[in-house]
Amino acid sequence: MEEIVTALIKLCQEASSGEVFLLASAALANITFFDKMACEVLLQLNAIRVLLEACNDKQRVDTPYTRDQIVTILANMSVLEQCASDIIQENGVQFIMGMLSEKPRSGTPAEVAACERGQQKAAGTLARLCRDPHVAQEAVRLSCMSRLIELCRSPSERNSSDAVLVACLAALRRLAGVCPEGLQDSDFQQLVQPRLVDSFLLCSNMEESFV
């Protein structure tokens, strides 16, 4: 397994096209779903740096499908406590914020679905990483809390996705537990204080005109 993971992350680093990077990152994403050891190997190989640096190369990473694979890998790696420091060091919270703001360019069902998956996984990753107060503080600094609130309150921002809503509510609650000063009273009373199901029902029934 270690040899396969090493070869795939090297392929991501040296990929000359978006198609090659997508295939390699998708393979890594699938492996990290069922093998925690693969996540540990990736951490040792500085995979977070490799993947996030690739995001600055439009030749390799220029579609929501590819970014979906990257955030999937980060989400699976975020179960490791030592992942948080690497995320901060490589500006990973900024990438997560970008994923929360991802919007489809073409409006095709496949691209819309990829953006939804990206938002859901970004929120889930943030919820895990915010057990580290340094990540939580960086997330607040980058306005992640404001974006999570917007995603909860505005159905169009999440394409009316219930899965994205649940993930954003969970992330917001985790973030509020560490940095409560970033919340207005109304947001706390509606999105954090009630039972999760009650906040979910409130947000899922919101009309766009009330946001």
pLDDT digits (tens, 9 = 90+) for 90-129: 999 999 999 999 988 888 999 999 999 999 999 999 999 9
Stretch 16-31: mean pLDDT: 96
**Best CA proximity match to 12, nearest among 4, 22, 2, 3:** 22
Q: What is the pLDDT of residue 207?
A: 58
**Best CA proximity match to 26, nearest among 79, 71, 56:** 71
Q: Which amino acid is at 116?
A: E
Residue boundaries of the structural domains of the chain: 1-77, 90-211
Give the Cα separation of 105 and 88 in Å (integer).
28
Q: What is the pLDDT of residue 7?
A: 97
Give the Cα separation of 87 and 113 in Å (integer).
25
Q: What is the pLDDT of residue 148?
A: 97
The pTM of the full predicted model, rounded to 2 decimals, is 0.91
Query: At what angle are helices 133-141 and 144-153 packed, to 10 degrees?
Result: 70
For the chain, give the percent of residues with pLDDT over 70.
Answer: 98
For the chain, give the percent of residues with pLDDT over 90.
Answer: 86
